[in-house]
Amino acid sequence: MPFLLPLLALLLLSAAPTVTEVVTAMTACDQNFLNQTSPQIGGILEGGNILDQNRYKTICQTLRDEKIFVTLYDTTNKIPVFSAYKYTGINESARQNQWKIEPQLEEIKLNANMEIEEEGKSYTHQADNKNYINDRGFQKGHLLPQSYGWDIIAKRATFTLTNSVPQVDSFNSKSWSYMESCVKCVLDKYCIDANGKTEGFVVTGARPSNNNLLNSKVNIPSMLWSAFCCYSSSQGAWLASAHWGDNIPDGGRVLQTKTLDELRLELGAPSEAFPGTNCPIHTTVTHLYPQLDKFCKCPKPVSTSVSP
Ligand SMILES: *[C@@H]1O[C@H](CO)[C@@H](O)[C@H](O)[C@H]1NC(C)=O
Ligand SMILES: *[C@@H]1O[C@H](CO)[C@@H](O)[C@H](O)[C@H]1NC(C)=O
């Protein structure tokens, strides 16, 4: 009976927990990239091609059949290279549910279910939860923060190990989190197109360290970076900025807002967050900070003038 085989395949497929989907090309979930163009990461992802396809995997981070965001995952270092998301604001109508999220529980639940399926086999190269527990002051730092998720599904989808890196506690909870909050304020207030739709593209990556490992297994990145770009109809212009910081104890530091070009120099050519797009590479959004409210936690501008 010729229909039995596909039926069996379908049954097996639906039985597998599908929180993540591994695909070979970046194009499979490229709606998360501005202009459907993936970032360029020197030596890893160039011109939309993954140079070492055995080592680096594209993961369409999917929950309840919704493709939420995309991650490029490094199976050797067991951390993501970056996660990218099209930010569309927060669904205010769904808001009362949003506060019910319990990160700890969600994390355990989701990770228990999390399997990366590859050619029908479970994939064993990823970091697992026990590699993170209580070790030397690191937290699971999310590259795409849950606070950017459109709704509860999108927020939950960020709680995957493939979206996480070992991040120094105080860095995660202070300067990095302030930066996330500042960028979200800019996205919410300025990244609105002519039809009143919120839309901004966010890419967040980690630079792996040279063999500094957590529990001899998971690479502890030396630096985290993030960039965003959007069209702002109120400003009549494309807006973009970048931030980065070393993965070290925070000590009251402030992550300054930088240009895409400064990020490109920091990451080393030919790396680029938004290649081949209209995103301005020599300007930032710091001029908009005074218009944002104080809860946004945007950095105070660095004064370049000499005090009298
Ligand atoms: C936003 O949330 C409301 C309430 O949960 C839901 O009915 C609506 O479909 C959501 N909108 C979108 C576009 O997801
Ligand atoms: C998208 O890419 C095309 C071709 O590279 C370019 O001409 C266009 O300006 C880009 N659009 C945006 C929004 O960056």
- Greater confidence (63 vs 117) lies with 63
The length of the chain is 308
Q: Name, of 19-28, 79-88, 98-107, the range with top average pLDDT.
A: 79-88
Mean per-residue pLDDT, 287-293: 95
Torsion angle of C-alpha atoms 20, 26, 27, 28, degrees rounded to 10:
-10
The CA distance from 306 to 308, in Å, is: 6
With a 6 Å cutoff on the Cβ, whether 278 touches ligand 2 is yes
In this structure, is residue 303 part of a structural domain? no
In this structure, is residue 304 part of a structural domain? no
In this structure, is residue 48 part of a structural domain? yes
Mean per-residue pLDDT of the chain: 83
In this structure, is residue 306 part of a structural domain? no
User: In the prediction, which pLDDT does 27 show?
Assistant: 75
Instruction: Using the predicted structure, report yes or no on whether residue 281 has a pLDDT greater than 50.
Output: yes
User: In the prediction, which pLDDT does 201 show?
Assistant: 98
Beta strands, E only, the chain: 20-23, 45-46, 49-50, 56-63, 66-74, 79-87, 117-118, 121-122, 138-142, 164-168, 200-207, 213-214, 218-219, 223-232, 237-246
Ligand nearest to C-alpha 93? 1
In this structure, is residue 308 part of a structural domain? no
pLDDT digits over 234-277, tens only?
A: 999 999 999 999 999 999 999 999 999 999 999 998 999 999 99
pLDDT digits over 213-230, tens only?
A: 998 889 999 999 999 999
The CA distance from 270 to 257, in Å, is: 21
In this structure, is residue 32 part of a structural domain? yes
In this structure, is residue 302 part of a structural domain? no
What is the 8-class DSSP label of residue 258? B
User: In the prediction, which pLDDT does 119 show?
Assistant: 30
Residue showing tokens 């104080």: 294
- The residue whose CA has the least distance to atom 11 of ligand 1 is 91
Instruction: Using the predicted structure, report yes or no on whether residue 193 has a pLDDT greater than 70.
Output: yes
Instruction: Using the predicted structure, report yes or no on whether residue 43 has a pLDDT greater than 90.
Output: yes
- Greater confidence (136 vs 170) lies with 170
Q: Which residues, 6+ apart, have CB-to-CB distance to 77 below 8 Å? A: 208, 218, 219
User: In the prediction, which pLDDT does 269 show?
Assistant: 85
User: In the prediction, which pLDDT does 274 show?
Assistant: 98
Which among 230, 274, 278, 281 is the best mutation to test ligand 2's pocket, defined by most ligand atoms within 8 Å of the CB?
A: 278
- 307: tokens are 């005090």
User: In the prediction, which pLDDT does 130 show?
Assistant: 62
User: In the prediction, which pLDDT does 26 show?
Assistant: 72
> Total domain count for the chain?
1
Domain that includes residue 116, residue range: 2-296
| Closest-CA residue to 27 (of 35, 36, 17, 16) | 36
* Cα dist from 31 to 24, 26, 101, 212, 277, whole Å: 16, 10, 26, 34, 14
271: domain CATH number is 3.40.570.10
| Residue ranges around ligand 1 (CB below 6 Å) | 91, 93-94, 151
In this structure, is residue 171 part of a structural domain? yes
The CA distance from 13 to 31, in Å, is: 24
